[in-house]
Structure 1
Amino acid sequence: MEPSKPKPPKNQARPRHLLPLAALLLLFTITPPAKANTNTKDCPNWKPPQAEQQITRLSQKIQRWDNAFYRDHHSLVEDAVYDQARTTLSHWNHCFPNEARNPKPPRQSSNRTIAHPIPQTGLQKLRDPQSVTRWLEQHKDIWLQPKVDGVAVTLVYRQGKLHSMISRGDGLRGQDWTRHARRIPAIHKTIPDNRQQLVLQGEIYWRLQNHIQAGGGDNARGRASGAMASNTLSDEQAQSLALFVWDWPNGPEQLPQRLRALKALGYDISTYTHRIKTLDEARQWRQHFYRQPQPFATDGIVLKQSRRPAAEQWQAEPPHWSAAWKHPAATALATVVDVAFPVGRTGNIVPVVEVEPTLLDDREIRRVSSGSFQRWHSLDIRPGDQLRLKLAGQTIPQILDVVLPAVDRVKLPVPDPDDYGPLTCWHPQPGCVDQFLARAEWLGDKLEFRGMGEARWLSLYEAGLLPDLLAWTSLTREELMAVPGIGEKRADKLLANFRQARERDFRSWMAALGMPSVNLVPEELWNDATFSGFAARSELEWQQLSGIGSGRGEDLGSFLKSEDVLMLSKKLEESGVSGFDAAMGE
């Protein structure tokens, strides 16, 4: 198989060159993955009391996760987030050895534990393609299997008959699940091998049909774990469970031989086992098990060397001869660096959270929207907080919750949402730069300006050439060329934009100025329409139009009678733009 109110705002907004409004639409940057921080120079700048608090709280959080997973067989957090939390705790412990602490080994919910005949070793995690390449270079005769997402077990056969099944537990001892094993049809009660003792290690998983892992795990591991933790296994649960044998510690020396021998025992995994040599092959199979239909959930791939040490040497810790490369993380833990509060064209404040570079679905996330201002306020996100992120629709990063708030709550320049609205910030006075430039970008887009993106509007503002929304209409070629980054050709292109704008129709101009519900105004009203005619209509007349209603009618009336809008219409009238005659009430 091949892997085929318009009152003056009182808070100065963050300068746009530090955090452009485009960050609200493009909230992540795809860059090469960052390496893990292990150098002490990357340690947090904490005093011992703060370090002790932070380390203790994270250790306690991991302790709760461990207890739920190992004792109650219930996962409270995704694997990727758990792994990151463990890495973070290890890093903090390294930075502050006097305050270091680690979660205690979880206590079993039952005292009925039995020893594994051979320890379950676990797997080391390879973080990125670079670490996979290094691992491949250090090993030979390498094979690959899917990392089936279920619950690990040890099967013990004696003289060809099933003797016991043991949960992984701590790798040395686990719970006795033999009673459940005897009810699962996928587990053979007898095998064609009469040796005194035969030990297999594998994964109990929940059967799925044409499951595509990229769409989520479908809680398959949770269902498998819950079934095995139950007192009584139902017929439906027993039929839904299956076994993927991923090792035979005392089996044949070479993996191809083990595959043939396992098939003879009734546990055929050869279809899912492939010899590889290169990173590209590993990457290809990883994508295959992530995006192609499978009968089970997976959380990555496993790389293993064909030949291993004798089983007597195995320990309950990750060995050197096998490793896991997990699937792209659907969730991740991210540390907050800063929070910005850009104001949009209509006065909405959508906080943007800057985080330390964080891998999510093989993308490096640096910024993420908190959603509404109200949601940011409810989460109270501050620098130093540990957030749990996920991708919405596999493209846009989203904040799920705050996993670990920072002990020290950093004060932020939080603007007052009541200071902003649809009719504020028509000029770039202090506190209004964000919203004003958002209006300018909107105008340029609706008038189909070429080469006049966000950066260009910002450069005009920083050069002092944009005191109001229409100041560009009177700019000269010399003034434009004096702006950094604007040469002769670009200046001529911008002037051509400005000339063509004067020829745009009245409807385009009203949309560019930000008239509410412009697309809901009936077509017949646009025929021979003028600004004074629109402004003369009462709110009630607007409300009576189909699709407008009371709320939109009120917004239209307020917009058309706004002093700032009336001033802009007067300037457009003086420029000879069609439809802008003298507005009533001036």
Structure 2
Amino acid sequence: MDFKHHPSTDFRPLEALSRDQAADEIEALREGIRHHDYLYYVKTEPAISDAVYDQLFDRLQALEAEFPSLQSENSPTQRIGAEPVSALNKREHRAAMLSLESVQNDDEVADFIKRLQRDAGGGDNDGDGDDAGGGDDAGDGNQGPVALVLEPKFDGLSIELIYDQGVFSSGSTRGDGYTGEDISHNLRRAAAVPMRLHKAPRHLAVRAEIFMPRSGFTALNRERVQRGDEPFANPRNAAAGLMRQLDPNRVAGRPLDLFCYELLEIDGEAAPATHHQLLERLADWGLKTCPLNRNAEHLDDVRAYHAELEGQRDTLDVEIDGVVIKLDDRARRETLGVRARSPRWALAWKFAPREEITTLEEITVQVGRTGILTPIALLQPVDVGGVTVSRATLHNADEVQRKDVRPGDQVRIIRAGDVIPEIAERIEQPGQTRALSFAMPEHCPVCSTEIIRDGAYHRCPAGLACEAQLVGQITHYASRDALDIDGLGEETARQLVERGLVHDLADLYRLETQDLEAMEGFGETAARNLVQAIDRARRPSLQRFVYALGIRHIGARMATVLTRRFGSLDALLKADRTALERIPEVGPEIAAAVVAFFDNADNRQVLEKLRDAGVEVEDVSEQEPAQADDSHRLSGKTFVFTGELAHYSRREAQSAVEARGGRATSDVSSATDYLVRGKDPGSKAERAQDLGIEILDEAEFEQLLEQG
């Protein structure tokens, strides 16, 4: 059976195989799959179609399931499905994983190369190169050739990979350079990490960079944004976050890649004499190296390479932030030695940092808690005011059309105080062939329900039947101003939905301790505490419950208004638009939202299931007498918030105002009574000052809340 060169998929029935025959086929399949992984990931020269590869893989899975005694830890099938680890343990590296001295100045690069040229004859290597800048010819760098290897400086996660007898043994993060975290369980699930090498030495430890390609990063952020999650700031954060997961199943199938570039330890054969020979040997063994690596001898070679890669930076599928210059001769490296934390024989020449102009990679849509679809621009990560930005809001379809931004465009990003980044303008690119104009989807990207137009917005009407809305609903339902379920935040809600433990709000009340213990971040105590917290929320007040349902336009204040008027959940369920619009504070838009929520069959079913689960909403007559909102000095007052508050999220601050009869708006106008200013305020503070509006700091705002 030759699955490497002639991969037939005409398999015999499993029941017709003896154990020995199955063992032979399993070994042949593993060898064939590893070979095709090598061609795909290392050589980037796939020899078979994805469909044939999938058939080989599925056959191997079926054989291992039929003959469990033939399973192996290093089988390609073990990349999917594995038990979580309890913690990331520390692991000492086989050799120090040093950092690199970084420069951004051409003269400093010239000094470094001049030093290497001078030291070629065994010159003085003591000290830290303080004399590097001396001499009028320091910037020439072309006094004589010196063998160099040039590599891209990857913006990923530096790792150690260890192989024994050619089989993957373990891997760890760089950590402090001497000790890192054991991430072997996750590396086994990353398809780009080979589990078995070709004719490798008896023992091998190499340094590599694991990263998320830009294309995979954009796809992952699209998925996160559509579900309502915060996107990753940059590919490095995405790769590092995945590698530090306790559950390796979160890594399986994710778009991760790696390049190997240094030798840490070798036993069983002599180490290559030069770095470029090492890179060749790494590839021969089956470890992927970067195709952009290049040999050089002079400063002009280095300058040309730096300029070339900086020009390609935005089109490469790997995020790079500079180039690395290394002495090729490994014996001379030993002579030059190291400083405290960096080698004397290598230097990183960084690119100029990206500023506010970047590339719009893709426009996707985010499904919010109330079903509103918001277009989101996924960006090539860019630094804006000291913050790395990888997305910007586009508000609605009309805004996208007005700004006429499309994938591939160069755009200018602004980040104004308390708002998420926005696209200020598109940068003209003469001669550019632009992508097609963006159009809102006709169906929800999460649940496939047909989208409806609601004024300037598009909305998914599925309500609690939409997973994106469900995660937001659970988070809102458990928030402090709603049912105040301690320990039930967004990440926990996400895990509950993804693991199929919660399909609607009623399922929360059926959770048991053992359900939660299997989730990341939960032990027995945390699981028990959350189950108890949920149980305490079985008898909520009507006002809290109405607010917790997350009905569009219904904040804490309006939930209080409805509670006073109707007194019970049953009465509110029966209310029609006419009855609702008789309430002075309720306009047509609010009335329509309330009726639509309770008319939705899925929502009514969830309410019935909540009752079946033991949730008893207290009528007003059963509750403590409520303080009238209009008795508070904030009744009828309008607030605007700007900047970051230390003790309140924006939603919490707004809810606190609404609960006291006030209202919160997003724009400053002559009707604004108070502007609350936090850290890093935006332009709203200046406008409020111009209009003579009273400006409060957080302490003054808290005092106002406490006054009767």
TM-score, reference length from structure 2: 0.35
- Higher relative contact order, structure no. (Cα contacts within 8 Å, ≥ 6 residues apart): 1
TM-score, reference length from structure 1: 0.41
Which protein has the larger Cα radius of gyration, Structure 1 or Structure 2? 1
